[in-house]
Every structure is written in structure tokens, then in C-alpha cells.
């Protein structure tokens, strides 16, 4: 039974013919057209004849669509890139005919896109302009920004930032700052932190343990605002009250351990240093271009744009879009540029009525990109063969994408009956996430974990050892270390969830390095339940939508094959010459 439908699983929901349509669309995005690729194919080419004159054979024309030729080399490159689950189920020559048909379909889509004027649509024009800008910005930055981070620098950062130190804290959480100060006064007067926590703390799980959180944490495990005050504490010291978002907390450092730099930490630090240096180098490059290209803010334009936004102007207002906000040698940044960029933001919004926010975004994002493009043009990067060929492929890709969007928008509709029917006929596709029950012992060091693992294998009770040694917070487990979670608990348990999903029931596993230390665990059970219609409704609708889109597009392709049949010629003789029959 399936819990979720992966791309591969969804492919299998439709017919073989429809699967080929999916392959066509995916390859329009991933392969970007039928341009001949010279790089080595990523999969073994079992069907192709690889005799000494294979190179000459790859130049043979296998099909012609209008004035476009499809060669054996293009076919080779094409199915060398597609995954097995998208390949034809046929064998031998018939399999290659199916692959060739997909390339023909790609050309038919190009013909239809041009006939429908897709290349004149604003969405298409905007997208191509964005591709060009992104390519030139990327190339210019690669050419000008050189960042290096050595292994020694990573090790130095790990040592200087004291990331080896992990501390076990006790905490006392109160509802107000006054209560926190009152609790602190009792502690400084000589009362035991644990006793005061039992009296004052509102966090029941740790309150019952005298505030002990039961785990060791490093700096990178904590929110930035807690790192400095907490890691300044030595063993036995107590912090002042800290605002933790609606409540106030006292923390006491109980003890600490030293850990080495593991591979995951090394990669995280390397990435952090690389990003920081890249951002700094990009800022310096931007500053130099601002001077060289004489970037100037048009305050009058910014005022006019802000006033227009406060009046409720829309993104389509031509007069507003034409307002110039910045000028530089070679171009301008207009209100239209800001409006278009703001509409594409995925993870945040830009308050267009806030002039300061607009200036910050324009000067931090739009201006650098505009200057990089201008500098790239002056160096002739847009005329390089790699760039022109890449843009040509992206243009072909985007024609197919926009054509598909238009066709599906016109032809696909989903009713409540469609959704209900899919759920009732295929309810085993819609399951709740696995409920996993494990028994675990969590300790601070690998040596402790290995010692406990030996004792367990000698027959000692896991219940007893978990009660005695496990550092997992009590609110997350029972006394014997038993706990239940789903895949959604990965934010809390991290790698433990992934490992528990793969481990056979009843098998003792470990030591597994996790954020809090080292884990030894055994999966006790793994259960699955069917989701109700309301729980699964969004997933069901997505499945129906996906299947309908493939079926509609398959029908559309069938129409194109009929419409353009007179313009398609398949060279069966050449196909047989360069491909085996089985």
C-alpha cells in the first residue's frame, strides 16, 4: 500500500502511451529541445551499434519534421538522459521507434507553439528575458568572484567558535519577567536550582526533573539569540532572565562534554564560510560597478512610484510601470522591473507602499543584477557560443512549456465527483504516515553507546538500561525509552526518524549519531492507517489533476500528429541501419 505517490508511482497510474507524453513534457524541461548533445550519455546504450564507424552513423537522418532533421546522434543523446521508468516498455527496434516518436512530438509542439503565437505572449517574453539575465549574471559572477575555503579554515572556525563544546542545561520557565527575577533571587540566596524549578517553572516535563533538559546541545543546535548568553555560562552558573517569546527563562549549565568535528559539521561550516565570503565578494563587486557605471537613484521617480502604490495602482498600469527609479550607464531600473520581480517572490512579500523596503530590495537585488548584466554585455559574454546555444534551447523549452500551460488551462476541469471517485476506487493510495514505535537509549558519547550495546547483546534488560542511562527528554518518551512518532517528527528527532523507517522491526540498531549524542534503538512496531476522505482530499485532488493533465495532453499530441502528418517523414531504412532489432 502507498502512503504518498512519488513521481515514479504516479507515472505508473497512467497508460504506457500516456507515460510517453509525460516523458515528452519532462524532457522539454530537462533536456531543452532536440539540439544535438556531444557529452557522453549517462546510461549504457545497449541498443545502439557501436562499430568503428558509429560516429558517421550518428549523423544519419532518422526523421524530418518540416525543415528540421532528427539524427541518430540526437536519439542517442535523448534516451541516454531519460530514467528507466520513463523509457518505453517495448523491446528492440520498436523501443527505439517509440523514443524517436517522442523527439518527433517535440518538434510538432514547436510547430504548434509558433503557429499559435506563443512566442508573442507576455509570459513567454518575460521568461526568456529572465533566462537571459540569470545566465549572464551567473557567468559574470563566476568569472569575477573567486572564493576559497580550506579545510584548515574550517577546523580553525570550529575551534575558535568553541563548537566542540556541548552543554547540558537545566531550565526554569516562567510566565513573566518579574517571576523569573524572583526565582533568580531565591537561587542566588542559596536555594537549589532544581527546588526552585519545581516551584516556579511552568514547563512540567523538566520541572519534575529539577529543570534538567536531559540532553547535550551545541551552539549550532540553539537559536542565535540564546548562543551567546548560554554558552558564556560555566558549569554551575545561572543565566539572568531571558525572553524566549512570551515567556521568560533561567538556564543553568550543569556540565559539558567535548566532541570532535564530524563530517556533517565540517560540511555545514564549510558551506557557511563559503556563502559568507561569496556574499561579501558579491557586495564588493557590486560597489565597484555602482561607481564604474554611475548608478544613481531617481528620488523623484521613487516618490512618484510610492504615491502611485498608495493610490492603489495595479501592476498593469503602463504609466506607473514606466517610472524610472534608477539610472546607470547603459540602462534604467523601472517601476515595472520592481513590480515584475515582486510578483515572482516565493517565500516573502514586498510591501510596495513602503518606500524604504522598495529601495532596499532594488539596491540589494535588482541593481546588482542589472549592473552585472550590463558589465557582462560590455565583455561580450552574450555573444559566446555557449550562451547563444543555451538561450536557443531555453527558448524551445519555454515554447513547449507555455503551450502546455495554455492547453491545460483550456481543457482540464475537475469536479467533486471526480475527486470522490478517485478516493473510493483507490483508497489504498491515501494512507496516513507510518506510526513508528521504538525503544531507545540516548547517551552523550559513542563509547558509552558501544558499551551499552555490548551489554544489551549479552542479555541485559533494555528497560533497565534505558531507565538508568537514556538522556532523551522525559516528555518525549516513557521511563523505559519507548516513544512513538511519524515522519513529521523529523524536525525533533532528525536522523533517528530516517533510520527507524528503514530498520526492520525487532532489530537492535546503533550506535547512530544524532544531534543530541548517540542512539541505540529497536523498532517495536510500524503501523499504517487509511486516511479519511477529508484528510486525503488535497492529495486526491492533486492526483486527479495530474492524471487528467496527462490524458488531456496525450489527446492534444494525437491531434498534432494528425494535423502535421504531411510534414513528418521517418527514415525507416536509416533507423534499421543504426539500431539493432533486439
For 211-251, the pLDDT digits (tens) are: 999 889 888 788 888 989 999 999 999 999 999 888 899 99
DSSP state, 246? S
Do the Cβ atoms of 354 and 338 come closer than 8 Å?
Answer: no
Q: Which residues contact 541 (CB under 8 A, 6 or more apart)?
A: 414, 419
Rounded distance between C-alpha atoms, residue 520 and residue 450, angstroms: 9
CATH number of 435-527: 3.10.50.40
List the beta bridge partners of residue 482: 439
Q: Residue 340 pLDDT more than 60?
A: yes
Nearest to 61 by CA among 558, 581, 568: 568
Per-residue pLDDT at 579: 66
Fold (CATH) for 165-259? Chitinase A; domain 3 (3.10.50)
Q: Which of 517, 508, 492, 502 is nearest to 436 (CA)?
A: 502
Burial of 1 from C-beta contacts in 10 A (0-12 / 13-18 / 19+): exposed
Tens digit of each residue's pLDDT (9 = 90 or more) over 36-89: 333 333 333 434 444 545 667 788 999 999 999 999 888 888 877 777 767 777
**Average pLDDT over the chain, rounded to whole?**
87
Q: How confident is the model at residue 426 (pLDDT cuts 50, 70, 90)?
A: very high
Q: Are 252 and 209 in contact (CB under 8 A)?
A: no
Residue 21 has pLDDT above 60, yes or no: no
Phi/psi of residue 562, nearest 5 degrees: -70, -45
Q: Report residue 374's pLDDT band, with 50, 70 and 90 as the boundaries.
A: very high
- Residue 174's DSSP bridge partners are 248
| Delimiting residues of CATH 3.10.50.40 domain(s) in the chain | 165-259, 435-527
What's the pLDDT band for 581 if we cut at 50, 70, 90? very low
Which three cell numbers, joined as nine digits, stand for 171? Answer: 531550565
Q: Using an 8 Å Cβ cutoff, are 215 and 442 in contact?
A: yes
Model pTM?
0.66
CA distance 165 to 260: 9
Q: Quick one: pLDDT band at residue 11, thresholds 50, 70, 90?
A: very low
Rounded CA separation 44/412 (Å)? 38
Question: Which residue, among 28, 45, 179, has the nearest Cα to 118 in the 3D structure?
Answer: 28
Integer Cα distance of 93 and 96 in angstroms: 5
CA-wise closest residue to 521 among 441, 434, 451:
441
pLDDT of amino acid 491: 63
pLDDT band at 580 (very low <50, low <70, confident <90, very high): low
Q: What is the pLDDT of residue 55?
A: 66
At 400 the pLDDT is: 94
The percent of residues above 70 in pLDDT, for the chain, comes to 89
Query: What's the confidence (pLDDT) of residue 582?
Result: 38
Question: How many whole angstroms from its chain centre is CA 382?
Answer: 29
Amino acid at each position: 500500500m502507498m502512503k504518498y505517490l512519488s513521481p515514479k508511482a504516479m507515472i505508473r497510474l497512467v497508460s504506457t502511451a500516456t507515460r510517453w507524453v509525460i516523458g515528452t513534457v519532462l524532457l522539454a524541461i530537462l533536456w531543452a529541445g532536440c539540439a544535438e548533445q556531444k557529452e557522453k550519455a549517462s546510461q549504457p546504450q545497449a541498443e545502439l551499434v557501436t562499430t568503428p564507424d558509429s560516429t558517421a552513423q550518428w549523423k544519419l537522418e532518422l526523421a524530418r519534421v518540416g525543415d528540421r532533421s532528427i539524427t541518430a546522434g540526437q536519439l542517442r543523446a535523448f534516451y541516454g538522459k531519460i530514467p528507466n521508468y520513463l523509457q518505453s516498455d517495448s523491446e528492440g527496434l520498436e523501443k527505439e521507434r517509440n523514443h524517436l516518436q517522442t523527439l518527433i512530438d517535440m518538434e510538432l509542439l514547436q510547430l504548434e507553439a509558433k503557429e499559435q503565437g506563443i512566442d508573442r505572449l507576455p509570459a513567454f517574453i518575460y521568461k526568456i528575458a529572465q533566462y537571459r539575465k540569470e545566465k549572464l549574471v551567473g557567468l559574470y559572477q563566476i568569472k569575477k568572484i573567486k572564493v576559497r575555503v580550506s579545510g584548515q579554515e574550517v577546523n580553525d572556525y570550529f575551534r575558535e567558535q568553541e563548537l566542540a563544546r556541548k552543554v547540558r542545561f537545566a531550565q526554569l520557565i516562567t510566565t513573566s519577567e518579574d517571576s523569573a527575577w524572583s526565582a533568580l533571587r531565591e537561587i542566588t540566596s542559596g536555594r537549589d536550582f532544581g527546588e526552585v524549578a519545581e516551584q516556579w517553572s511552568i514547563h512540567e516535563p523538566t520541572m519534575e526533573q529539577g529543570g534538567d533538559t536531559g540532553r547535550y546541545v551545541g551552539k549550532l543546535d540553539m537559536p542565535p539569540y540564546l548562543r551567546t548568553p548560554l554558552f558564556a555560562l560555566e558549569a554551575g552558573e545561572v543565566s539572568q532572565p531571558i525572553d524566549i517569546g512570551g515567556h521568560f527563562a533561567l538556564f543553568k549549565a550543569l556540565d559539558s562534554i567535548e566532541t570532535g568535528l564530524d563530517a556533517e559539521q565540517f560540511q555545514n561550516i564549510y558551506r557557511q564560510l563559503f556563502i559568507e565570503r561569496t556574499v561579501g565578494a558579491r557586495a564588493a563587486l557590486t560597489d565597484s560597478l555602482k561607481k564604474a557605471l554611475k548608478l544613481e537613484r531617481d528620488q523623484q521617480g521613487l516618490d512618484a512610484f510610492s504615491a502611485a502604490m498608495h493610490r492603489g495602482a495595479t501592476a498593469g498600469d503602463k504609466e506607473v510601470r514606466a517610472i524610472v527609479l534608477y539610472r546607470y550607464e547603459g540602462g534604467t531600473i523601472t517601476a515595472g522591473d520592481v513590480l515584475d520581480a515582486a510578483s515572482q517572490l516565493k517565500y516573502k512579500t514586498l510591501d510596495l507602499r513602503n518606500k524604504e523596503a522598495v529601495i532596499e530590495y532594488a539596491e540589494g537585488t535588482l541593481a546588482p543584477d542589472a549592473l552585472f548584466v550590463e558589465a557582462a554585455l560590455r565583455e561580450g559574454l552574450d555573444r559566446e557560443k555557449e550562451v547563444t546555444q543555451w538561450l536557443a534551447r531555453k527558448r524551445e523549452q519555454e515554447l513547449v512549456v507555455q503551450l502546455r500551460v495554455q492547453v491545460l488551462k483550456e481543457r482540464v476541469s475537475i469536479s467533486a465527483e471526480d475527486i470522490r471517485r478517485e478516493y473510493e476506487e483507490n483508497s489504498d493510495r491515501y494512507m496516513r504516515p507510518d506510526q513508528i514505535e521504538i525503544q531507545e537509549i540516548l547517551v552523550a558519547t559513542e563509547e558509552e553507546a558501544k558499551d551499552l550495546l555490548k551489554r544489551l547483546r549479552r542479555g541485559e534488560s533494555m528497560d533497565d538500561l534505558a531507565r538508568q542511562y537514556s538522556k532523551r527528554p522525559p516528555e518525549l518518551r516513557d521511563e523505559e525509552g519507548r516513544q512513538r512518532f511519524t515522519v513529521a517528527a523529523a524536525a525533533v528527532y532528525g536522523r533517528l526518524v530516517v533510520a527507524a523507517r528503514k530498520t526492520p522491526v525487532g532489530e537492535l540498531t546503533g550506535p547512530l549519531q544524532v544531534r543530541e549524542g548517540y542512539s541505540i534503538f529497536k523498532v517495536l512496531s510500524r503501523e499504517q492507517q487509511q486516511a479519511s476522505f477529508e484528510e486525503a482530499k488535497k492529495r486526491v485532488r492533486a492526483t486527479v489533476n495530474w492524471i487528467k493533465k496527462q490524458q488531456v495532453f496525450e489527446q492534444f499530441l494525437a491531434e498534432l500528429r494528425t494535423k502535421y502528418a504531411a510534414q513528418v517523414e521517418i527514415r525507416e531504412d536509416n533507423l534499421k541501419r543504426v539500431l539493432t532489432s533486439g
